[in-house]
Chain A
Amino acid sequence: MIGAILIGVAGGVIAGLLGVGGGVLFVPGLVLFMKLGQHQAEATSLLAIVPVAIVGTIRQDRYGNVRRDDAVVMGALSLAGAIAGVALANALSGQALRVAFAILILFVAFELVRSTLRGAGEKDEQPRPDD
C-alpha cells in the first residue's frame, strides 16, 4: 500500500515538473514494485492517470490554455482507437507487451534529452504568473 502511494506521488511530481505524463512511471512502478503483470499494470495506470489529468486541466484552464472544443473532439473520437489499442495489448503476451513498453520509454527518454539539450520548451510548458 505504501509502495502504491509512493509511486503515485513520484509520478505526479514528475508529471507536474517535466510535463511528461505519470503513466511512464506508473506502469513500471506497478510491474517492478507491486508485482503486477504488464497487462494489469497498464490497465491500472490508466485509471490512476484520470485524476492527474483532471487536476492538470483545471489548473491550465484557469490560465486559458485549454482549447476545450478541440479537446472534446479528440477525446470523443478516441474511443475506436482505445478499443483497438486495448484489444491489441490483450492479444500480446505479457512478455511482448513489456518489451514494447520498454522501447516506448527509451523513446520518451530520448525525446526528453533532445528537447532538454535544445533548451526549447522547458519554460514554455507552464505559464508564469507574469505572462
Chain B
Amino acid sequence: MSVAGLRGMNSERTLRLAAIGTAAGAFSGLFGVGGGSVIVPLLVLWLGYDSRRATATSLAAIIVIASFAAIVQATYGNVNVGDGILIGVPAIVGVLFGTWLQQRIRTREISLLFAALLVATAVELLLR
C-alpha cells in the first residue's frame, strides 16, 4: 500500500487527516469507544503508515477525540464521573501489564478467545 505520491502535497494530506479525525470523532461519539478501529486502517490506507506508527499515532489522537466526545456527552448529562475514574485509573495498571505481557507470550490464542468473548457479549446485549 504505497502512497509515496503524497509527499509534499500538504493540503491533501491535511484534508485526509481532517476526514479521518471527523470520522473517528463521529464513531467515538456514537459508540463510546476511542475510534482506533477507524483511525488505524485509514492511516495505513490513505497516508502510508506502517501498523506500528498507525497504532501509536492513533492513541495520541484518541486522547483528544475521547476527551471531546466525553465533554459533549457530559453536556447531555450522561457521564458518570465516579465510574469513569473507577474504571480509567485501574485500567492504567492493566494496560501497563498487558503491554509487558505482550512482549513475552504468543497472543494468537488470546486474540481468538477475546473475539469469542466479544461475540458472546454481543449476543448478551442483543438478548437484553
Enumerate chain A interface residues (CB-CB to B < 8 A). Answer: 1, 4-24, 26-32, 34, 36, 39-57, 59-61, 63, 65-68, 70-90, 98-106, 108-113, 115-116, 119, 121-122, 124-129
Contact = CB atoms under 8 A, between A and B. Distances in A.
B26 A84 contact: yes
Contacts of B121: 28, 32, 102, 105
B103 interface: yes
B74 to A, nearest CB: 7
Contacts of A60: 55-56, 59-60
- Tell me if A's interface is mostly helix, strand, loop or mixed: helix
Contacts of B116: 109
Interface residues of B, number: 91
A50 B66 contact: yes
B9 interface: no
B91 A104 contact: no
B108 to A, nearest CB: 6
A15 B94 contact: yes
Contact of A98 (B43, B81, B128): B128
A67 to B, nearest CB: 5
A55 B95 CA distance: 8
Contact of A16 (B62, B99, B122, B124): B99
B36 A21 contact: yes
A68 B64 CA distance: 12
Contact of B78 (A16, A42, A100, A129): A42
Nearest to B106: A122
B52 A51 contact: no
A44 B87 contact: yes
Given A27-B33, A127-B52, A40 B26 contact: no
